[in-house]
Amino acid sequence: MSDRIAAVGDKESVYGFAALGLDTYFTDPREDSTAMFKRLCQSGNYSIIYVTEAAAVALEKEIEKYRSEPSPAIILIPGVSGNTGEGLSAVRVSVEKAVGSDIFNE
């Protein structure tokens, strides 16, 4: 398993992650990023892939394919355009599957 981490999203949202040592991959809403994302997931080079919530909308089907895989962990993060709540919702679903109940609303 690799210890590398990638950040995927629009340039303004993920560019700063390069300063932290993450590999950054930029998406463009006018282009299909599915092939690039699929290569990242299948390469075995990344243990964690951060994806901006905006990019996750376009990559939703691909992200869902890897959701149950142990690696890479795909984590949604807000971008510069703000928080849509999709990241928290994804964490909630994962925790509910692991624990068996919604512990956030108890």
Q: What is the pTM of this model?
A: 0.79
R_g over Cα of the chain: 14
DSSP 70: S
- What tokens appear for 81 in the block? 């355009």
Q: Which fold has domain 4-101?
A: Rossmann fold (3.40.50)
Phi/psi-derived region of residue 49, left when phi > 0, alpha when psi is between -120 and 50, beta in every other case: beta
Per-residue pLDDT of the chain (106 residues; tens, 9 = 90+): 578 999 999 999 999 999 999 999 999 888 889 999 999 999 999 999 999 999 998 899 999 888 888 889 898 988 887 656 665 566 655 555 555 666 566 5
Residues 7 and 48: beta-carbon distance below 8 Å = no
- What tokens appear for 37 in the block? 């994302």
